[in-house]
Chain A
Amino acid sequence: MSQIQKSQAELLYDAQQRKVRQFRTNVIITWVSLLGFLVFVFSGPIKIDTQFIQRNYLFIATGVVDTFKISFLSITLAILLALLAALGRLSNLPPIYAISTFYVSLIRGTPLYLQIFFFFLALPQLGIILPGLIAGVIALGLNYGAYMSETFRAGLASVGKGQREAAIALGMTSGQTMRRIILPQALRFAIPPMGNDFISMTKDSALVSATGFVHEIMWRATRVGRAEQNNLEALIVAAVFYWMMTLILTFFQSRVETRLARGDR
């Protein structure tokens, strides 16, 4: 045989790779089994009304559009607020610092569910009536903004002080330093956690359904489920759509993360 003898290091590496592959295969097999088990349970032991699903899955699926819309608008608002709150937290002007910490404390100290109802149900009492979608976006945006401000703060803190000094030494103003040097680096640091926040936002947007004004997935599922006494089927369909959305978003997130990891840090 003309095959070249493998070195010890290569053999060790091969053995390690075999272990990794084996682990991955076993994980996939277990996943598929669990999924198969779920399908089995709902097709035999637990009777579900498949005709109901056939009649209504499109109606529920249409909610994906609103779920996505509300999540997207909310995350945009949240990023804006989080950025302002994080910058405010770095300010050495007492009122700015206070506004930022007050906002974060108030929002993090109360339930999201309460905040959503506040904008739908409490504000109209004061004569402020917001369209359903807008109220939902404001509530979710305010809430996530408060949490994300911590991510941004960590991102800003991750940029070394040498970067600021180099920018200042070139003659940049503090605004230019922030815009050109600090923020781009901080944002890069904050993008992966922001992806996580967006994914959890798509699911938390279901809470908005409780008010009955935004016709996203959860609202549609509970509506048809209650009307026809088929809550089980309706919720299963909704769960499948949420899960699929999450899987797709997670896929894109991991792509972005590998690109960032490869990037030019």
Chain B
Amino acid sequence: MTPIVKVSNLDKYFGRLHVLRNISVDIQPREVVCLIGRSGSGKSTLLRCINFLEEPSHGTIEVDGVKVEGGEKGKEHRQLIHDVRLKTGMVFQEFNLFPHMSVLGNVIEGPVTVKGMDRNKAIAIAEENLDSVGLLFKKDEYPNRLSGGQKQRVAIARALSMEPKVMLFDEPTSALDPELIGEVLNVMKKVAKEGMTMLVVTHEMGFAREVADRVLVLAEGELIEDSKPDDLFRSPKDPRTKALIDRYRTGER
């Protein structure tokens, strides 16, 4: 099978700090991959390199046949990055809904402004996605009237409405009150079940274990583990993975 996301020999420096070291990962269509690691391990940076919110220093990113070399410049490069962004949807830890637009406005913004989609068609797609995250009844509200969990569900609907090939989640539940985490994870499970390819940076081990097809572990910018969740949780190969899992088991983060 051809992977839908192919990260090859990725390096990322922030100044002299080497945050990602020669990372190579393939993600197959419809696969759900969780990315775990201590804070500062580079997991968010890796995710953000895939849609070029961070420009990789070296290496290539390939998403659904669009191949981009990191560290290049110029018009062609920017066009390729744009193509990659159209194929990826992103959900942020801090939601980042647009506060000056209604819920519906947030969800149709991408299709209408970026794709030039007919407004009515965009609304139809948006309403379908809002319905699927259970928030169609909030479509005329503004984001400041929503709870954190609702905001994140709208953010998921917003990303889905661009009809991406891959969804990237950057710690989607880390900014939420504990009682609101469940509703967001449930929506993510639903999206996974509908066959979306997902890459999820998370601290939610339960979610990783239950939903992920594969779990990647990063430590100090290196990929130290790439296994099925059952194998990983039962018999971690690397002692650092074991330490990480143990910390979550004891509830310490």
Contacts and interface: CB of A to CB of B under 8 A. Distances in A.
Interface stretch (A149-157, A164-172, A251-259): A164-172
A163 B96 CA distance: 6
Interface residues of B, number: 27
Specify which of B94, B97, B98 lies most central, judged by the most chain A CB atoms within 10 Å of its CB: B98
A166 B114 contact: no
B100 A188 contact: yes
A4 to B, nearest CB: 33
A251 B148 CA distance: 37
Nearest to A188: B100
Interface stretch (A114-122, A176-184, A227-235): A176-184
B18 interface: no
Q: Is the interface of A mostly helix, strand, loop or mixed?
A: helix
Contacts of A45: none
Contacts of B98: 163, 166-167, 181
Nearest to B114: A171
A64 to B, nearest CB: 35
Contacts of B109: 170, 180
A6 interface: no
B99 A265 contact: yes
A170 B162 contact: yes
A162 interface: yes
A73 B219 CA distance: 60
A169 B53 contact: yes
B100 A171 contact: no
A176 B97 CA distance: 16
Interface string A176-217: 100011001100100000000000000000000000000000
A184 B99 CA distance: 10
Contacts of B99: 185, 264-265
Contacts of A168: 53, 85
Interface of A: 160, 162-163, 165-173, 176, 180-181, 184-185, 188, 264-265
Interface of B: 51, 53, 82, 85-86, 88-90, 92, 94, 96-100, 102, 109-110, 113-115, 142-144, 158-159, 162
Which 5 residue pairs of A and B lie closest in terms of their CB atoms, listed nearest first?
Answer: A264-B142, A166-B96, A169-B90, A170-B110, A162-B96
5 contacts: A169-B51, A170-B85, A171-B115, A180-B113, A184-B100
